[in-house]
């Protein structure tokens, strides 16, 4: 699994960002404008300032230095199924806060059971191996089915919760994001039409995405299962996602049953546009993937 992945790392101004690439592939994303390669380094990295304190550890005798999650004050443990390193982030609102658009029972099962399972399973997949920031896990995730499905599932859901808000607090895109949407789609309504179509046409389980393309345009596409646009090799328009919609039946079936279009329509009432706008302005518009915590 993770041991079969070659790890490349780069420093980005003021903070560290890391990339993962399948063996034999060159790092491609501009999100990690490389100034200092850590590949095959034999010395630990010092001076990390990330808020969740990435540590470092020599990896499995391979001589790689990898960014690990944990404290800087002591040894950093390897991944374990129960103990992390990834954890289920709490919902930023009450289970019933999105009523009537998304019902309380769906939110409780979706967050506490489905998302928790992705967290448990990605921790299990990484057990005894190396761990990195959740966002950095995505790039090379397709090299491992377990990490693709569960590491993807964890990132996707962790982002999803942050982009939802009670209808009264949904708000509107910031002026900068609204301008970008207008430039790419002509209007907010046209963007919604395109997003709704992508979500409705995704056959089976998957996600609809809005993001920023490498040339700075707002784009929309969808991915199957728990894939996301950050994964190298994914069948999706290249973008840094800022908004995703879960169209797995577990996300809507209790309330909407077979009426996925009604769920998609309801979603637009509970988007946290303030958060999505921040993801656009602080990260995606600058070519950086959104560092979702989880
Ligand atoms: Fe889900």
- Whether the CB-CB separation of 103 and 86 falls below 8 Å is answered with no
- Whether the CB-CB separation of 287 and 213 falls below 8 Å is answered with no
- 167-205 pLDDT, tens digit per residue, is 999 999 999 999 999 999 999 999 999 999 999 999 999
CB atoms near residue 37 (< 10 Å): 12
- 228-269 pLDDT, tens digit per residue, is 999 999 999 999 999 999 999 999 999 999 999 999 999 999
Least confident of 60-69, 87-96, 98-107, 226-235: 60-69
Q: Which of residues 84 and 15 earns the better pLDDT score?
A: 84
CA of residue 29 to ligand 1 center, whole Å: 27
Q: Which of residues 226 and 78 earns the better pLDDT score?
A: 226
Label residue 82 by pLDDT band (50, 70, 90): low
CA of residue 171 to ligand 1 center, whole Å: 24
CA of residue 109 to ligand 1 center, whole Å: 10
CA of residue 183 to ligand 1 center, whole Å: 31
CA of residue 152 to ligand 1 center, whole Å: 11
For the chain, the average pLDDT equals 79
**pLDDT the model gives residue 1:** 33
- 64-81 pLDDT, tens digit per residue, is 233 344 333 333 344 555
CA of residue 112 to ligand 1 center, whole Å: 11
CA of residue 172 to ligand 1 center, whole Å: 24
CA of residue 280 to ligand 1 center, whole Å: 23
At how many degrees (to 10) do helices 175-185 and 188-201 cross?
70
CA of residue 54 to ligand 1 center, whole Å: 27
The span from the CA of 32 to the CA of 88, in Å, is 26
CA of residue 255 to ligand 1 center, whole Å: 14
Q: Which of residues 92 and 1 earns the better pLDDT score?
A: 92
Mean of pLDDT values over 213-233: 98
The span from the CA of 129 to the CA of 85, in Å, is 11
Q: For residue 68, list its beta bridge partners.
A: 55
**pLDDT the model gives residue 89:** 97
CA of residue 288 to ligand 1 center, whole Å: 24
CA of residue 192 to ligand 1 center, whole Å: 21
Task: Name the fold adopted by 167-286.
Answer: minor pseudopilin epsh fold (3.55.40)
Q: For residue 212, list its beta bridge partners.
A: 218, 240
The share of the chain scoring above pLDDT 70, in percent, equals 72
CA of residue 110 to ligand 1 center, whole Å: 6
- 114-137 pLDDT, tens digit per residue, is 999 999 999 999 987 778 999 999
**pLDDT the model gives residue 23:** 30
CA of residue 22 to ligand 1 center, whole Å: 26
CA of residue 121 to ligand 1 center, whole Å: 14
Label residue 24 by pLDDT band (50, 70, 90): very low
CA of residue 207 to ligand 1 center, whole Å: 9
**pLDDT the model gives residue 79:** 53
| Residue partners of 224: CB distance under 8 A and separation at least 6 | 202, 203, 204, 205, 206, 235
Query: What is the rounded (10 degree) CA torsion for 131, 33, 29, 241?
Result: 80
Question: Closest by alpha carbon to 65, among 40, 29, 90?
Answer: 40
CA of residue 1 to ligand 1 center, whole Å: 24
CA of residue 246 to ligand 1 center, whole Å: 5
- Rounded to two decimals, the pTM is 0.76
Distances in Å between the alpha carbon of 231 and those of 19, 212, 241, 264, 289?
A: 11, 15, 11, 24, 11
Domain limits, CATH 3.55.40.20, in the chain? 167-286
Q: Which of residues 159 and 37 earns the better pLDDT score?
A: 159
pLDDT for 284 beyond 60 = yes
CA of residue 94 to ligand 1 center, whole Å: 17
């Amino acid at each position: 699994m993770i041991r079969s992945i070659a790890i490349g790392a780069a420093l980005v101004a003021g903070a560290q960002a890391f990339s993962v690439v399948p063996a034999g592939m060159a790092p491609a994303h501009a999100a990690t404008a490389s100034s200092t390669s850590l590949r095959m380094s034999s010395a630990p990295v010092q001076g990390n300032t990330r808020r969740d304190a990435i540590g470092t550890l020599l990896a499995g005798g391979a001589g790689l230095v990898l960014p690990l999650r944990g404290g800087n004050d002591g040894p950093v443990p390897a991944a374990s199924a129960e103990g992390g390193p990834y954890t289920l982030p709490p919902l930023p609102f009450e289970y019933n806060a999105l009523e009537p658009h998304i019902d309380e029972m769906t939110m409780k099962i979706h967050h506490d059971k489905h998302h928790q399972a992705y967290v448990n399973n990605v921790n299990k997949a990484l057990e005894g191996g190396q761990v990195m920031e959740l966002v950095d896990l995505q790039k090379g995730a397709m090299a491992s089915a377990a990490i693709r499905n569960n590491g993807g599932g964890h990132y996707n859901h962790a982002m999803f919760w942050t982009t939802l808000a009670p209808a009264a607090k949904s708000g509107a895109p910031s002026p900068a994001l609204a301008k970008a949407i207008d430039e790419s789609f002509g209007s907010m309504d046209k963007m919604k039409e395109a997003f709704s179509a992508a979500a409705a046409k995704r056959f089976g389980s998957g996600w609809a995405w809005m993001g920023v393309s490498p040339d700075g345009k707002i784009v929309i596409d969808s991915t199957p299962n728990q894939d996301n646009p950050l994964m190298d090799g994914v069948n999706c328009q290249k973008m840094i996602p800022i908004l995703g919609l879960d169209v797995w039946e577990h996300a809507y079936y209790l309330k909407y049953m077979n009426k996925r279009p009604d769920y998609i329509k309801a979603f637009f009432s509970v988007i946290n546009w303030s958060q999505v706008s921040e993801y656009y302005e602080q990260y995606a518009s600058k070519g950086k993937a959104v560092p979702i915590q989880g």
